[in-house]
Amino acid sequence: MIKKKHFGKFFKWGVTISAFQNEGAAFEDGKSASIWDTFTSDVQNINDGNLPGETAGFYHNYEADILEARQLGLDVFRFSLSWPRILPNGTGAFNPKGLDFYNRVIDACLKNKLEPWVTIYHWDLPQVLEDRGGWTNREVVDWFLHYTDVVTSAFGDRVKHWIVMNEPMSFTGLGYFTGYHAPGRNGIGNFMKAAHHATLCMAEGGRMVRRNVEHAVVGVALSCSYVKSTDQWFFNKRAARRVEALLNRFFIEPLLGLGYPTDIMPALNIIKSYFKPGDAERLAFDFDFIGLQYYFRVVARFSLFPPVLFATEVPPLSRTKKLTSMGLDAYPKGLAHLLDFYMCYDGIKQIILTESGVCYTDFLRGDKVNDALRKKYHQKMLKQVKRAIRRGVPVKGYFAWTLVDNFEWREGFQPRFGLVYNDFETQKRTLKASGAWFRDFLNEND
């Protein structure tokens, strides 16, 4: 049985939310449209056919949600800032009402003895900047630094923990390569430019945070997957290594000063055509911690499509029936492999699991939600963390995704990840069995 004491006195226990997925109030108090407001205004871009509306209503219910987090026994509340709420024009003058909202959120965290961990960018680029090329425009580095300067200057007196960016592979790959996510663009050229500019922004943003915030603790949150080959055939094993390079190495290595992983994917040398003098040095930054976010396993095999990658995933349904409601292969044992994988890098000081969660179909029966599978998932993940700590891996925190059921990007409202059930019509919250387990686990005295 796992107990809180197994993780040490200084281990961080948190929960994570994001601005677009939770806030709602898309055009209130001076906020302009983000690329996700634009993308989801077309119902054809939402798989379950439900427009986001007020999402999880955090803009109007933040005090109650933060109190709920505290009552669960958590000590960290991680949330992201909305770029278009703070800078409606993307650059230039800030919106006082936008800053005021986040000041109130930060104060509510501190009042409830929760450390506010702020994510500067969680995918909601102002639409006015996308109209100028978005992440494919080199000017985005200057836009992002201006935004980072504004928010760190405004909140740095009370916020000491900063995550510069959330899951760059997700928003560049799905948003600019496959077109599955906002802004719906595709093509290898768009991806390469967007990815390189995002990497520059993470490093330069980290430097900006450190300049502006005294005693800042600076990190970045990277998505990752446990990747294995479908068999031992040479070409399948090489394909799995390429997928691993794309999903697990692509961003961490340049941030550590190692460059992009062209050893296994020579085609990535294309990205160097977007370099300017000094970029190789500018890409590296000495982060205080690396946030890892692991949701699913990938089994890969050789394929002639897509080009550059020359690999494809073996469909999860063809190899296991234990899938999430998004059809993903949640595999807690994969976390052990990933933690060992990342600890091979000398430049990583600490690891925080900045998101960990799973979606299953939940049923509200009276005032109860018995989400036994989610509870078991978190327990299995924490067992892997405990074992990794015993092996000497410096894992220093575990943040559940997410507090309250919210809007899951293109998937809509159907996938539920929360520890708290949300009735999206009434915004009534109901603590799930998984949330009750966390509360009891974190408040144990022995």
This model's pTM is above 0.95: yes
Confidence check: pLDDT of 446 > 60: no
Mean local confidence (pLDDT), 331-359? 98
Q: What is the pLDDT of residues 410-433, one digit of tens each?
A: 999 999 999 999 999 999 999 999
Mean local confidence (pLDDT), 145-162? 98
CA distance 59 to 19: 9
pLDDT range class, residue 213, cuts 50, 70, 90: very high
CA distance 286 to 206: 8
- Phi, psi dihedrals of residue 25, rounded to the nearest 5°: 50, 50
- What is the reported pLDDT for 308? 87
3-state secondary structure of 152: helix
One-letter amino acid at 127 equals Q
- What is the reported pLDDT for 240? 98
Confidence check: pLDDT of 291 > 80: yes
CA distance 189 to 26: 31
Mean local confidence (pLDDT), 80-85? 99
What positions carry a catalytic annotation? 167, 355
Q: What is the CATH code for 4-229+290-296+326-442?
A: 3.20.20.80
Mean local confidence (pLDDT), 269-280? 96
